[in-house]
Amino acid sequence: MPDLTKQTPATPDPEAPRSTAPSGGGPVLEVQNLTLKFGGLTALDDVSFHIDQGEILGLIGPNGAGKTTCFNAVTGVYRPTSGDIRFQGGSIVGMKRYKITQQGIARTFQNIRLFPTMTALENVLVGADAQHKTGMFTALFRLPRHRREEREGHDRAMELLRFMGIHRKADELAANLSYGDQRRLEIARAMATEPKLICLDEPAAGFNPAEKVELMNLIRKVRDQGYTVLLIEHDMKLVMGVTDRIVVLEFGRKIAEGKPAEIRDNPAVIAAYLGVDEEDAS
Amino acid sequence: MNKIKQRFISLPRPVKVLLWVLLALFAYALPLLELPIITTPGVDFGGVLFVVTMYALVAIGLNIVVGYAGLLDLGYVGFYAIGAYTAAILTSFHAHWPLLLSIPVAVVATTISGVLLGAPTLRVRGDYLAIVTLGFGEIIRLVAVNVEWLGERKGISNIARPPSIGGDDGLFQIPHLYWGDGTVLLDTEDTTAFLKFGVLDQIPYYWLGLTVVIAMLFADKLIKNSRVGRAWEATREDEDAAELMGVPTFRFKLLAFATGAFVGGLAGALYASRQSFINPDSFLLLFSILFLAAVVVGGQGNRWGVVVGAVLVAYLPQRFREFDDFRVLVFGLALVLLAAWRPEGLFPPKRTVRARQLEQDLEELEEGHEGEEAARA
């Protein structure tokens, strides 16, 4: 749990490493023999991988390979048919979705899902509230906890908006932000929940090459702050450039895992992406 | 409108407080002023104003459920009825408690009923919830019709009144104004006793109702500008995304339901006390619709909007009683026009203004915090 009693400094330095800096390796998330079936369709078939602390792991594969399904299983949207998902040593299978988030897994969405009629700042505050406990009575009587959490949440939200470069639009409605800013806001909102692991679902979708480069730098910056990142991405160049390790899915099965350079030369991966005759592939 | 609002927000704090106090004083004095045009001809103006405050109260409560949390509740009159019947049973039918003791019980009973209704039904969404709540409102009424213990169709009479201050004559008499031809006089013949809750003069009930409305507006503001209010809005906007951002959506929906029930029950108990008599016909489905109309017409999600909506829905039909036969027609026409021209209601929430307000609140919080630290040191 993040230390909430610690006061955020008045002028927070977004570049400074967070208190939950890499604590020397060890898997943050372990996916063990994960299988997920929808009726007769097997969306994920015996998939296993892990993510180490402070690592950027890429999850790639052709359309329909099960990347987002895998995400949804990790964040509690789908319940696995079999297999286990362990986060920081404990199983999170069957846990309520909001509890998983409070435990420290945050995500963004492939199709942007902000709260459109709330301001950018309020969107991030909702994320920050994941670690807050203010209830009806605390709010009604403006007890110290409410005041402290509002102040901390606000400071943190502004710090994150600044980190994402959209702090000037804090008071704009989320619906009125440009497409790119909406994507950035989603990342800020996810980071506000104080996650250990942040899952980005195709964050570069719809970006032009310049924006993609900017995003790569941003993802590295996120990691440098002590977050562990799980990244789904179509854009091979981006994935190769930013990740430490890559897991490749195809038709719900893991077909390869390794460093970007290894993946690039892996014949099975090339086959999956470019398509080859069945005889060659086997 | 927006400009006026922004200018208001940028006023210094003492000026703002002063303006609010003046507005409140005007509201309290309204029935004494006997203003021409505004005062309802042929109907007791104090009584009309009391009903207006009850509608406003109900609209504030329903706005939490419908406007903030986005849960369509078509059976809100059920909570109103539970509050009214609890007060009636405890002060007249089965016991003789004083009213002030029965109100907390009525409110707790209503809140519990809200949780009991919400716990199984808030798992369904949208249209389904509307149908379930619609049924709930009717079930409550039919139970009252058929259960002897609740007075059946005959209803319950002699419900206790609030305690008067200063005996039968009150502490002092407040004269009303009299508008003659071009002159305004104090009318010493026509006075209101402060503070006597009697049968004839309904103005003290209005004062009570108005006080409760003001208190609820304050409470509403405090809750809305907090984690709770944000969680409600996030849930309304995108329930799945909210849940994945760490909002226990079910718990917050239940909280909204219980809070709405709380306010509805309070209004019901006050209404029963003023009427002194209730029967199942006081809680027809029509009232659920009118309550919802107040919220929607005013602009759901905006606490001042829904109060304006309540004033329109409760006051206009009384003011224009002479057009009695056309009332429903005009009301329907007005709703259609509203749907066409202002689909979000007369005063939809202005969120950018609100964001600026939030900034200011936080500045005040920070000042308060510095004060605390100074005090500690």
Domain boundary, last residue among A192, A219, A250: A192
Beta-carbon contacts of residue A170 (< 8 Å; ≥ 6 apart): A119, A120, A121, A157, A158, A161, B355
Among the candidates A152, A177, A192, a domain finishes at: A192
Task: State mean pLDDT over B12-19.
Answer: 88
Per the model's pLDDT, the better-predicted residue between B70 and B43 turns out to be B70
Q: Indicate whether A4 belongs to any domain.
A: no
Q: Among A170, A192, A214, which residue terminates a domain?
A: A192
- Cβ–Cβ gap B226/A122 under 8 Å: no
Q: Select from A102, A151, A172 the Cβ nearest to the Cβ of B246.
A: A102
CATH number at residue A86: 3.40.50.300
Work out the number of other CB atoms within 10 angstroms of the CB of residue B365. Answer: 17
> B28: buried, middle or exposed (CB in 10 Å: 19+, 13-18, 0-12)?
middle
Phi, psi of A199 (to 5 degrees): -105, 120
Mean pLDDT for B102-127 is 90
- How many angstroms separate the CA atoms of B368 and A147, rounded? 9
A227 with A245, same domain: the answer is yes
Q: Is pLDDT above 50 for A22?
A: no
pTM: 0.86
Position A125 in a domain: yes
Q: Which positions in chain A touch B366 (Cβ < 8 Å)?
A: 151
* A23: confidence class by pLDDT, cuts 50, 70, 90: very low
Number of independent structural domains in chain A: 2
Q: Is the pLDDT of residue B356 over 70?
A: no
- Segment 101-160 of chain A within 8 Å of chain B by CB: 101-102, 106-107, 109, 113-119, 121-122, 125-127, 129-132, 134-136, 138-140, 142, 146-147, 149-151, 153-154
Does residue A99 sit in the same domain as residue A209?
yes
pLDDT tens for residues B61-94?
Answer: 999 999 999 999 998 999 999 999 999 999 988 8
Mutate to test the interface with A, among B111, B224, B227 (most CBs of A within 10 A): B227
- pLDDT, average across residues B40-62: 90
Query: Above 0.90 for ipTM, yes or no?
Result: no
What b/e readout covers A229-242, taking b as 16+ CB neighbours within 10 angstroms? Answer: bbbbbebbebbbeb
Q: Domain limits at A146?
A: 115-192
Question: Which chain B residues are closer than 8 Å to A151 by Cβ?
Answer: 362, 365-366, 369
Domains of chain B: 34-162+197-346 (1.10.3470)
